[in-house]
Amino acid sequence: MLLALHKSRWGLRVRATVSNRVMANAIGIDTKKTDRLTFAIGCGIAGVAGAAFTTIGSTGPTSGSLYIVDAFLVVTFGGAASLLGTVVSAFGIAQTQSITEFFLAGSMAKVITLSLIVFILMLRPQGLFASKVRR
């Protein structure tokens, strides 16, 4: 996805639409079509992730509730508009939690990881890899 977003024509259109929808529409990018295609690709990726999740454990109505906080932390910590930030923050959070769980209990590892993330977000509220915005 990272290569597609940065090396393809579709990725250029997506980045332009996300950056400034009105200007992207003004230069001839069909933003509605871009939205539909991006949504379809996102749904496809979510379907593949769901299929992969069923190989790990059983699924039910509440099977995603264990991961919702971690997913929110990954997106917030990495920067909401950055795919690279999401990947790096997911790796960093997972490694921090795994190393801490080796020395402490699982719940204490989650508390320490969450405290570390909150402290870092207090210093840098836009996330690690926030997109640059001109003011």
pLDDT of residue 130: 66
86: how many CB neighbours lie within 10 A of its CB? Answer: 21
pLDDT of residue 33: 93
Q: Flag whether the pTM goes above 0.75.
A: no
- Which among 52, 54, 50 has a CA at the least distance from the CA of 42? 50
9 confidence band (pLDDT: 50, 70, 90): very high
Q: How far apart are CA 86 and CA 73, in angstroms?
A: 10
Give 11-43 pLDDT, tens digit per residue.
999 989 988 889 999 999 999 999 999 999 999
| Contact in structure between 86 and 73 (CB atoms under 8 Å) | no
- Which among 35, 14, 135, 13 has a CA at the least distance from the CA of 83? 14
Same-domain pairing of 81 and 113: yes
Give 70-101 pLDDT, tens digit per residue.
888 888 877 777 778 888 888 988 898 888 88
On whether residue 37 sits in a domain, the answer given is yes
Give 47-74 pLDDT, tens digit per residue.
998 888 888 877 788 877 778 878 888 8
On whether residue 128 sits in a domain, the answer given is no
CA atoms within 13 A on the CB side of 78: 21
Which structural domain, as residue segments, surrounds residue 75? 68-123
Number of structural domains (the chain) is 2
Domain boundary among 56, 82, 100: 56
Residue 109 above 80 pLDDT? yes
On whether residue 73 sits in a domain, the answer given is yes
pLDDT of residue 43: 95
pLDDT of residue 49: 87
Same-domain pairing of 47 and 15: yes
